[in-house]
Amino acid sequence: MSSKIPVLEIFGPTIQGEGMVAGQKTMFVRTGGCDYRCAWCDSAFTWDGSQKATPMTADDIMAKLEQTGGGRFSHVTISGGNPALHVGIAELIERFQEKGIASAVETQGSFWQDWLLNVDDVTISPKPPSSEMTTDWSRLDTFMMRLSARRDGNHNLKIVIFDEEDLVYAKQVHGRYPDVPLYLQVGNDDLDNQDPARLRDHLLEKYEWLVDRVMADPELNRVRVLPQIHALLWGNKQGV
């Protein structure tokens, strides 16, 4: 029997706006529920009760992806919430493999699932102090070790930066997993802004600050710095 997955939204094709495969044409499946409560979560509707998830089987999700994306995609990103809370995603990844669809997952590294071994690109996003969450380093170590042991697939770290303290945290993570590519992402601290042009100016100013800080720091010579491209293009709109 297949285990159902709580789904908040399925959308696309759009571009992956963040991290390692930024610019990639992809569909998104966003799952409901998260074990964290980040102070600045831009997807709080997945866990704060404001929107209701629909329980779906892997086949339901495939049908909805095909209905929404038509023939216009060959890549699916699973985000949330924390997708790694859901065992049922194993079957969804199998469907992708059968159909030759590449897959990516966004998670914070607090829960492991063996299906992660079959995902092409795994992004792990540990949370810095500004999130008001605490990193369980032994859990994260185990998570990173399991990913490093796989033969196929890529993984990377992505840390959202709001302030100096977050940069200190990012350097701690970088020192702990020096061989894993690290992306620093501009934090969006204006989640209620409904004016995409004004938000864009604001986020670009923050991007410039982050770039300047990274250029000045010899401990950050190997990191990559990116904004959320989708926020620059479409602001705080959901489902893009």
Ligand X SMILES: Nc1nc2[nH]cc(C(=O)O)c2c(=O)[nH]1
Ligand Y SMILES: C[S@@+](CC[C@H](N)C(=O)[O-])C[C@H]1O[C@@H](n2cnc3c(N)ncnc32)[C@H](O)[C@@H]1O
| Residues of this chain that bind ligand X (CB under 6 A) | 14-18, 28, 43, 79, 106, 230, 240
Chain positions contacting ligand SF4, by CB under 6 A: 34, 36-38, 41, 43, 46, 80-82, 108
Report the candidate in 121, 175, 124 with the shortest Cα–Cα distance to residue 153: 121
Q: Does 42 bind ligand Y (CB under 6 A)?
A: yes
Q: Does 160 bind ligand Y (CB under 6 A)?
A: yes
The interface region with ligand Y, picked from 4-12, 40-48, 134-142, 211-219 by CB under 6 A, is: 40-48
Q: Which residues are known binding-site members for S-adenosyl-L-methionine?
A: 40-42, 81, 125-127
* Total residues belonging to the chain: 240
- Chosen residue from 16, 77, 79, 156 binding ligand Y by CB under 6 A: 79
Q: Which residues of 195-211 are buried (b: 16+ CB within 10 A; e: fewer)?
A: eeeebbebbeebbeebe
Instruction: Return the H-helix or E-strand segment holding 142.
Output: helix 137-148
Q: Which does 107 bind (CB under 5 to 8 A by kind): ligand X, ligand SF4, ligand Y, none?
A: ligand Y
Strand ranges (E), 80-137: 102-107, 121-124
**What is the C-alpha to C-alpha distance for residues 143 and 66, in angstroms, rounded to an integer?**
32
Tokens describing residue 48: 């704060």
Q: Which does 126 bind (CB under 5 to 8 A by kind): ligand SF4, ligand X, ligand Y, none?
A: none
Q: Which does 158 bind (CB under 5 to 8 A by kind): ligand X, ligand SF4, ligand Y, none?
A: ligand Y
- What strands, in cross-sheet order, belong to the sheet with 102-107? 54-56, 5-15, 25-31, 75-79, 102-107, 121-124, 154-161, 182-186, 224-226
Q: Does 103 bind ligand Y (CB under 6 A)?
A: no
Q: Least CB distance from residue 18 to ligand SF4, whole Å?
A: 12
Q: Least CB distance from residue 26 to ligand X, whole Å?
A: 8
The count of C-alpha atoms lying within 13 angstroms of the C-alpha of 145, restricted to the half-sphere facing its C-beta, is 6
Instruction: Return the H-helix or E-strand segment holding 154.
Output: strand 154-161
- Chosen residue from 135, 187, 199, 226 binding ligand Y by CB under 6 A: 187
Residues making contact with ligand Y (CB under 6 A):
34, 40-43, 79-82, 106-108, 125, 158, 160, 185, 187-188, 228
